[in-house]
Structure 1
Amino acid sequence: MLSNLMRALGFARIAKARRDGVPRAARKQLTQAAREHFGWQELRPAQVTAMSALLRRRDAMVVLPTGAGKSAVYQVPATLLPGPTLVISPLLALQHDQLSGLNGRDNPKLRGVRISSAETPAQQERAIEAIRDGSAEFLFITPEQLANPERRAQVRALKPTLVAVDEAHCISSWGHDFRPDYLALGHYLRDLGRPTIVALTATASPPVREDIMERLGLKDPATVISGLDRPNLTLTAVHCPTEEHRWRRLLAVLDQVIGTGIIYVPTRRAAEETAERLTAKGYEAQAYHGAMAAGTRAKRHEDFLDDKIPIMVATSAFGMGIDKPDIRWIIHLALPDSPDSYLQEIGRAGRDGQRSDTYLLYRGEDVSLQRYFTGGAPDAEEIAALAAVLREGPATRTALRERTGLGQRKLAQLLALLEQIGVLVVDGNNLRVPPHAPPPMEAALLALAAAERHLNVQRSRIDMMRAYAESESCRTRLLLAYFGEELESTCGHCDNCADGSAAEEYAEGESADRPFALNATVHHKEWGSGMVLGYEGDRMTVLFDEVGYKTLSVPVVVAGDLLRHVAH
Structure 2
Amino acid sequence: MTLNLHKVLFEKFGYASFRAGQQEIIESILNKEDVVAILPTGMGKSLCYQLPGYILPSCVIIISPLLSLMQDQVEQLKKLGEKRVVAFNSFLTPNEKQTLLQQLERYKFIFLSPEMLMQEQVKIKLQSMPISLIVADEAHCISQWGYDFRPDYLRLGEWLSHISRPPILALTATATKHVIEDISTHLTMQQPTLHIQSLDRPNIHYAAVEIDSQENKFERILKQIESFSGPGIIYTQSRRKADVYAQKLSDKGFRIASYHAGMDQIDRMFVQQQFLNNEIDWVCATNAFGMGVHKDDIRQVIHDHIPSSVANYAQEVGRAGRDGSDSLAILFYTKDDEDLSIFITTNDFPDESHIRLFDESIKKGLNPNQLISQGLLTETHVRILTFWLARKKINETIEILQQLKQQKVEQIFQMKDILWNSLCIRQQIVEFFGQKLNSKPLNCCSKCGLNIEELIDSSKEHVRELKLQSWEKRISLLFKGIE
TM-score norm. by structure 2 comes to 0.82
**Any idea what SS the aligned residue of 2:242 has?**
helix
Instruction: Please state how far the C-alpha of 1:69 moved relative to its aligned partner.
Output: 0.9
- 1:82 and 2:21 matched: no
Cα deviation, 1:427-480, whole Å, max 9, x if unaligned, reads xxxxxxxxxxxxxxxx33333333333233222211111111123222111001
- 8 Å CA contact 1:401–1:408 kept in 2: the answer is no
Partner of 1:468: 418
SS in 2 for 1:495: coil
Displacement after TM superposition at 1:204 (Å) = 2.8
Unaligned ranges ≥5, structure 2: 452-483
The yes-or-no answer on 1:410 pairing with 2:381 is yes
Q: In structure 1, how many angstroms separate the alpha carbons of the residues matched to 2:21 and 2:145?
A: 25
Identity between Structure 1 and Structure 2 (%): 34
Q: How does 1:531-542 map to 2 (within 5 A)?
A: none
Superposed displacement of residue 122, structure 1: 5.6
Q: Corresponding residue for 1:136?
A: 107
Q: Deviations over 1:34-81 (max 9, x none)?
A: 234323222234222322222222222222222211111112222232
1:91 aligns with 2:42: no
Is the 1:332–1:360 contact (alpha carbons within 8 Å) kept by the matching residues of 2? yes
Q: Matched residues in 2 for 1:311 and 1:45: separation?
A: 31
Aligned residues of 1:305 and 1:324 also touching (Cα < 8 A): yes
Mapped pair 1:270 → 2:270: no
Measured at CA, do residues 314 and 153 of structure 1 come closer, stay the same or move farther in structure 2, by a change above 3 Å? same
CA separation of 1:190 and 1:384: change in aligned 2, threshold 3 A: farther
Matched residue, 1:66 = 41
Of the three residues 271, 274, 299, the one matched with 1:300 is 271
Where 2:55 maps in the other structure, the secondary structure is coil
Which position in structure 1 is the counterpart of 2:447? 496
SS in 2 for 1:62: strand
Report the Cα distance in structure 2 between the residues aligned to 1:106 and 1:260, rounded to whole angstroms: 29
2-side partners of 1:446 and 1:321: how far apart?
A: 36
Q: TM-score, normalised by structure 1?
A: 0.70
- Determine which of 277, 287, 292 is the counterpart of 1:316: 287
- Equivalence for 2:395: 445
Shift in Å at residue 153 of structure 1? Answer: 1.0
Instruction: Establish whether residue 104 from structure 1 lines up as the match of residue 79 from structure 2.
Output: yes
Q: Per-residue deviation at 1:265?
A: 0.9
CA distance in 2, matches of 1:245, 1:161: 54
- Cα distance between partner residues in 2 of 1:34 and 1:75: 10
Tell me the matched-pair count. Answer: 445
Is the partner of 1:312 in helix, strand or coil?
strand
Look up the SS of the partner of 1:340 in the other structure: helix
Q: Which structure features the higher share of strand residues?
A: 1
Aligned twin of 2:303? 332
Of the two structures, which has the highest relative contact order with CA contacts closer than 8 Å and spacing of 6 or more? 2
| Aligned partner of residue 497 in structure 1, secondary structure | coil
The worse-fitting range, judged by mean Cα deviation, of 336-345 and 173-182 is 173-182
Query: 1:334-373 counterparts in 2 under 5 A?
Result: 334-373=305-344
1:228 counterpart residue number: 199
SS of residue in 2 equivalent to 1:327: coil
Q: In the alignment, which residue of structure 1 is the partner of 2:88?
A: 115
Q: 1:153 to 1:468 in 2, by over 3 A?
A: same
Q: Which residue identity is paired with 2:344?
A: F
1:175–1:186 CA distance, 2 compared to 1 (3 A): closer
- Say whether the 8 Å CA contact 1:336–1:465 is kept in structure 2: yes
Q: Do the aligned partners of residues 55 and 412 (structure 1) sit closer, same or farther apart at CA in structure 2, a change above 3 Å counting?
A: farther
Closer, same or farther in 2 for the Cα pair 1:91/1:214, shift >3 Å? same
Alignment of 1:372-391 (within 5 A): 372-375=343-346, 378-380=350-352, 383=355
2:387 and 2:184 map into 1 onto residues whose CA distance is 14
Conservation of the 8 A alpha-carbon contact between 1:417 and 1:451:
no
2:429 maps to amino acid: L
Paired AA for residue 448 in structure 1 = I
Q: Is the 8 A contact 1:147 1:188 kept in 2?
A: yes
> Measured at CA, do residues 281 and 93 of structure 1 come closer, stay the same or move farther in structure 2, by a change above 3 Å?
closer
Amino acid at match of 1:463: F
Q: Is the 8 A contact 1:237 1:495 kept in 2?
A: yes
